[in-house]
Amino acid sequence: MGSCMARFKEFVKEDVLDRAVNLFWCKGYNGTSMEEVVTCLGISRSSLYDTFGDKRQLFLQALNRYRQQMSGAMIAMVNQSEATLPTIKHLFAVAVQESLDSKLSKGCFIVNTTIELAAHDPEIARIVNANMQDVEDAFYQAVKRGQEKGELSTKHDARAVARFLFNNVSGIRVAAKSGADQTVYNDIVSVVMSILN
């Protein structure tokens, strides 16, 4: 019976973290009051502090959860890909579609956090830098494979291309914050693909 209770609590904790991700993603860390945190998460202040700690600790846990889910899925897709170019095209198409579909122009939670907090908070900077390195490394391995198989151009160094890809995926997320339209995204993706071919 004890293990069932532990699993239930863990499920509830993950559900609360998902709500925290959405709240901080929409409003940012500084734009979210403690009252909004308690109201949105639907738990008491004492439960919040007992389970997650203070607002900053909750934010760090939410950021790590987002990183595991979103970046983890992208990295897995790149790592498992047999055909590099279609996979990269698909990743950019997904980033564009998510940006167009977002009524709130939320951008990317990690990109937003980088802009809002990373320069002033070393712990958050470590998380966003680790995320950047993980995604860049996945792109690097994919580009290297694609170049070795003759699928991608070898005109540019694989590491430089990986950094270019990461920067442009992030750039699409930033453009979403300003309400960019399909034409802007089409131009970005077109130039990215021209570098790969």
Mean pLDDT of 168-184: 86
pLDDT surpassing 50 at residue 193 = yes
124 falls in which pLDDT band (50, 70, 90)? very high
Most confident of 4-18, 91-105, 117-131, 169-183: 117-131
Please give the pLDDT value at position 7.
36
Amino acid at 7: R
What pLDDT digit, counting tens, does each position of 136-149 carry?
A: 999 999 999 999 99
Please give the pLDDT value at position 5.
35
89 vs 44, higher pLDDT: 89
The C-alpha atoms of residue 127 and residue 133 are separated, in whole angstroms, by 10
181 falls in which pLDDT band (50, 70, 90)? confident
Average pLDDT of the residues of the chain:
86
Burial of 139-158, coded b for 16+ CB within 10 Å and e otherwise, reads: bbbbbbbbbeeebbeeeeeb
Domains of the chain in start order, with CATH, are: 60-196 (1.10.357.10)
Closest CA to 170 of 103, 115, 124, 100: 115
What pLDDT digit, counting tens, does each position of 43-83 carry?
A: 888 888 989 999 999 999 999 999 988 888 888 888 888 89
Terminal-to-terminal C-alpha distance of the chain:
58
103 falls in which pLDDT band (50, 70, 90)? low
**CA of residue 142 relative to chain centroid, distance:** 19
